[in-house]
Amino acid sequence: MSTESKIEHTLNDLIEIARDGQEFYTEAAKKVQNPELSALFVRIAGVKGNLVASLSGAVSASGGEPAKHGTVVGSVQQFYGKVRAAFGDTQYGYVAELEESEDRLLGAFKDVLTDKDAPAAAVAKARELLPEVQQCHNEMRRIKLSMKNA
């Protein structure tokens, strides 16, 4: 596999997971009744959109084709979030599932950073975007814990 193909594959995995999050946050923003929580979800959906755009640009720059869709796992997680919210506290249900999607994205970024076979360009892009990913993750974890302990 060429370096360009490895870059494309590695970054497309991140694109798909970030896109899952973007779609899930957008939907959750429409479903929760709390305006502050809805605004937070819209803001984080925007961050995910920026991640997708930045990663897609890096894939294109390497001569690859950026991923156009999310993942099956993300679709299942989004469905589970809807079901969980429908049968319980809607706000907490979405927050809990969104925090899990943050765990998944952060884990994927860390996997790239620790993969000895990952191309340098993919590692550099992941390192550049990691602070945004970490910030969203920390924010959703904080909110989940505060709601759980309330």
Q: What digits encode the pLDDT tens for the residues 77-110? A: 555 555 555 545 678 888 988 999 999 999 999 9
In DSSP notation, 126-138 reads HHHHHHHHHHHHH
Average pLDDT, the chain: 88
Phi–psi pair at 34, nearest 5 degrees: -80, 115
pLDDT of residue 56: 96
Domains annotated on the chain, with CATH:
3-149 (1.20.1260.10)
pLDDT of residue 2: 76
More confident residue, 112 or 82: 112
Task: With CA atoms as reference, report the closest residue to 144 among 103, 86, 106, 83.
Answer: 103
| Token representation of residue 20 | 């899952």
pLDDT of residue 43: 98
Is a pLDDT exceeding 70 seen at residue 74? Answer: no
Task: With CA atoms as reference, report the closest residue to 61 among 119, 21, 105, 130.
Answer: 119
Alpha-carbon distance 71 to 69, whole Å?
7
Alpha-carbon distance 131 to 148, whole Å?
25
Is a pLDDT exceeding 70 seen at residue 40? Answer: yes
Question: In which band, very low, low, confident or very high, does the pLDDT at 75 lie, cut at 50, 70 and 90?
Answer: low
pLDDT of residue 126: 97
In DSSP notation, 9-56 reads HHHHHHHHHHHHHHHHHHHHHHH-S-HHHHHHHHHHHHHHHHHHHHHH
Alpha-carbon distance 46 to 82, whole Å?
21
Q: What digits encode the pLDDT tens for the residues 129-148? A: 999 999 999 999 999 999 98
